[in-house]
Amino acid sequence: MNTISEHYLQAGRSSTSHKTLASLAQGACETLRARVAENKSTPVRLLKILSRDACRDVRISVASNPATPTSVLCALATDNNPDVRFSMAENHNLSTAILIRLAADENPYVALRAERTLETNDRIEKNKGELNMSASTIERTFRRMLHKNGRLNKNDASELRKMILADGYFSKSERKLVSQSIENDLLDDPASEIFLDLLLQNCPKQSHDQAIA
């Protein structure tokens, strides 16, 4: 086995030490750096460095890694290279909030791909019985607001809050959308306060009981 092949295997192994991964990530070979970037065992600090790599394929690998933190994914969602953003737009495991942001991308191919991914995810959740009609309407409204303004303002958040609570039920999918909106910085400060209050005032009973216990 030649050295490149051996290093490639090392870069993809979960058992490879962080020190070795760091050494491979600093090498001149783009293929090896991309392999390290897609390794689920690669430490976050190294993923952050690789997310700024000059090679597009390395950044794409970081974006596809389930271990990549939300803050890094948010930065990659605005990457200068549309190929990076397109690769994220077709990732069905990406958070709804980031996909919604990509659906408003200036590049029509990225935006359309993100829309299709969201639609597919909606169908999958509906088949599982996890997405009701109200949640689907709220998600579409959220997309429209984000596409129009870039970030949600206080009025947007207030309108969505009313829609969410209209049926007296704060569903799992609605809670997920609200949480991801906060985590992915899709709201201005007043809007964040409204969504945070919505989460805190409507905690699931199970979580409340566990907190007391």
Q: Are 81 and 121 in contact (CB under 8 A)?
A: no
Same-domain status, 71 and 44: yes
Structural domains in the chain (count): 2
- Name the pTM for this structure: 0.69
User: Is 18 within a domain?
Assistant: no
pLDDT in tens, 33-80: 999 999 999 999 999 999 999 999 999 999 999 999 999 999 999 999
Length of the chain (residues) = 213
| 32 and 108 part of one domain | yes
The contacts of residue 38 (CB under 8 Å, 6+ apart) are 12, 61, 62, 64, 65
Span 132-172, pLDDT tens digits: 556 778 888 888 888 787 888 999 999 999 988 887 777 77
Among the candidates 76, 97, 131, a domain finishes at 131
Identify which of 120, 117, 152, 124 has the alpha carbon closest to the alpha carbon of residue 138: 152
> What is the domain range of residue 155?
132-213
CATH number for the domain harbouring residue 53: 1.25.10.10
